[in-house]
Amino acid sequence: MSISVRPIADGDFFTWLDLYAGYGSFYETEITDIKALTVWSWLVDPNHELNGAVAVDDSDGGKLVGLAHYREFARPLSSSRGLYVDDLFVDPDARGKGAGAALLDHVKQVATDRGLSVVRWITASDNETAMSLYDQKARRTDWVTYELDPA
């Protein structure tokens, strides 16, 4: 498998949708048509904060095998900006073949090119397969994540 990574393009919608639905399924979250179309509209809008990239298997006719969604965020204590990876998913048939690492390398390069200070993401505590890659590519932090539902 020969992997390259590129920004999401207009013609990627249906293959991206399959990957995004796989991501939702992994986290037991239904990706409805409305959710998918909303996220896609963000990804293809050059004025929206969300960006996307896809991992491409060049040895299989350019088949999309992974996705990453990311956006910049402010870091007030360091007076800098970082890059947050919201979603990272690789098709189960392509795992362990370099697509996840290539997507992380891509977002790291985006952060470097933009002069950002950090790339950050979270994952489920039981996502051991992904964490084995993440532990090779980055350092685990001591921070604990909380959520507060408004309303």
Position 123 scores a pLDDT of: 93
Q: How far apart are CA 63 and CA 98, in angstroms?
A: 14
Instruction: Parse the chain into domains and list their residue ranges.
Output: 3-137
Ramachandran angles phi, psi of 106, nearest 5°? -65, -50
Q: What is the pLDDT of residues 31-58, one digit of tens each?
A: 999 999 999 999 999 999 999 999 999 9
Identify the CATH homologous superfamily for domain 3-137: Gcn5-related N-acetyltransferase (GNAT) (3.40.630.30)
Position 26 scores a pLDDT of: 92
Position 137 scores a pLDDT of: 95
Q: Under 8 Å CB-to-CB from 92, ≥6 apart: which residues? A: 22
CA proximity to 70, closest of 118, 25, 124? 118
pTM: 0.94
Ramachandran angles phi, psi of 150, nearest 5°? -75, 140
Q: What is the pLDDT of residues 26-38, one digit of tens each?
A: 999 999 999 999 9
